Structure 1
Amino acid sequence: MTFAAPPPYSGRLNTLVIGGRMDADRALLTPRGELVHGCADALAEKLAQLPASTARVDVDMSGVHFMDTSALQFLDVLRDFGHRRRLPVTATRWNGQPRRILELAGLDTTDPLNSPTPARPAPLASAVAQERAEQLHVLQEEIEQLRHAIASRPVIDQARGILMATHGCTSDEAWHVLREASQRSNTKLREIAAAVTAGATPDGPRPPEKLRQALSRALSRHRSGAGGGPGRGRVS
């Protein structure tokens, strides 16, 4: 028996789709995509479709390539389902970024549903709760940084291509020029790249004076270091 996947969430490029099949009385679920906001609801809907005769649920997580702290709700839904139905539930085969998040959260990367939760005295439990909250905050910051890096990558790659075509530098040299200009002008790398990209169009705005000077100095230094002699011109 195979279960139909739920429709993808609107407005997202990377969605969570949960496939499933029955092997006798064992259900095998196969999530694909991201564990983000809404993933717990999608899982609850999928679990509600399982036959009453289901005696075991195994979730293969190898198709999940990204997750944020919403994954903890996803795991809670799985755990609660197993407790309510009194049947074994596993979530295995984690890899990549999701596995790293489990490590940072102090969970078992083989199967986080098996992570022990021993009884603790009240003061210690409070300290553990505070530590867990701090860990979640760190996770959220790391995830936000990853999302910013992913969003910034296209414009940075475009700026590198423009510098390579305009000034005859290599891809690595263009990267170092952007980084050095960012440091010299105390400007975010993405803003430097966006200014270079916008200024490359015929009617595009010129980069601010501070950025032009920082880019020109970085280009001059890298041309001198490469022994390339005079370049093809200053940043316009």
Structure 2
Amino acid sequence: MSSATHTSLTGRLNTLIIDSGVEGGGAVLVPHGDLVHGCADTLARTLARLPDDTDRVDLDMSEVSFMDTTGLQFLEVLDTYARRRRVRVTATGWNDQPRRVLQLAGLDPDDPLHGPGTRRESVPSVVVLERAEQLDRLRTEVEQLRQAIATRPVIDQARGILMATHACSSDEAWNVLREASQLSNTKLRKVAAEVTAGAEGGGPPPSPELRRALRTAIDRCLN
């Protein structure tokens, strides 16, 4: 049995799917994907389908590699279910980036629902966390991760184009992009996007300034 929701971040984050299994009175849920917008609804639908006699719910979070602040609502849904149904719930096995988010939110990554710093009557809500300075740091970190997710495919494509065109290694292609970015005072992502667009059939070539920077970078890095 599984529930799913799709993310909205340029289609590059992973769809959240929750596999569930019930044995005796215990349920094991295994989310796969990212805890972003819509994840709380996916969990709520999964919990609603559990048998009425379920007395324990264990979530294995090891297949989740990314969460943003809306992922905290995922925990709120789980905590509310536990209090209303009076059942024991756990959410363990968090990976590095989600653990960082939980730590910045003041929760124990090893047991965010019951560990030190967690008020048993309620998991801290996003409204409360917005009053804390640490949430600003959290938002900055998540935004940087979003940019990395959105940027990397474009840069990888440009590196592949340079490797195929100039018979160079991946590291050499990276050095060309970085050098061209510095020489033309252009963001690396824009350099990569123009290289990629120029290689596509009918795509516009890079600007004259960037073409000069690329030629200089290729001469410096590949010759």
TM class by smaller structure: 0.7 to 0.9
Look up the SS of the partner of 1:108 in the other structure: coil
Indicate the residue corresponding to 2:140 in structure 1: 141
Report the alpha carbon displacement of residue 176 of structure 1 after superposing the two structures with TM. Answer: 0.9
TM alignment of 1:47-86, pairs within 5 A: 47-86=47-86
Look up the SS of the partner of 2:65 in the other structure: strand
Look up the SS of the partner of 2:146 in the other structure: helix
Change (3 A) 1:18 1:204: closer
2:25 matched to 1:28?
no
Report the alpha carbon displacement of residue 39 of structure 1 after superposing the two structures with TM. Answer: 1.1
Among all aligned residue pairs of Structure 1 and Structure 2, give the percentage whose two residues are the same amino acid.
60
**Farther off after superposition, 36-45 or 151-160:** 151-160
Task: Work out whether residues 79 and 113 of structure 2, in 8 Å CA contact, stay in contact via their aligned partners in 1.
Answer: yes
Superimposed CA distance per residue, residues 42-76 of structure 1 (whole angstroms, 9 cap, x where no aligned partner): 21222222222222221111122221111110111
Matched length: 212
**Farther off after superposition, 81-90 or 143-152:** 143-152
Task: Work out whether residues 18 and 32 of structure 1, in 8 Å CA contact, stay in contact via their aligned partners in 2.
Answer: yes
Superimposed CA distance per residue, residues 121-176 of structure 1 (whole angstroms, 9 cap, x where no aligned partner): xxxxxxxx578643233323322322222222232222223323333432211101
Indicate the residue corresponding to 1:87 in structure 2: 87
Indicate the residue corresponding to 1:234 in structure 2: none
Change (3 A) 1:200 1:81: closer
d(CA) in 2 for partners of 1:155, 1:103 = 31
Task: Work out whether residues 8 and 15 of structure 1, in 8 Å CA contact, stay in contact via their aligned partners in 2.
Answer: yes
Indicate the residue corresponding to 1:155 in structure 2: 154
Letter in 1 for 2:80: D
Letter in 2 for 1:219: I
Q: Unaligned stretches of 5+ in structure 2?
A: 120-127
- The TM-score normalised by the length of structure 1 is 0.78
Q: Which is higher, the Rg of structure 1 or of structure 2?
A: 1
d(CA) in 2 for partners of 1:44, 1:85 = 13
Aligned CA RMSD, in angstroms, stands at 2.5
Report the alpha carbon displacement of residue 191 of structure 1 after superposing the two structures with TM. Answer: 0.8
Task: Work out whether residues 5 and 38 of structure 2, in 8 Å CA contact, stay in contact via their aligned partners in 1.
Answer: no
- The TM-score normalised by the length of structure 2 is 0.82
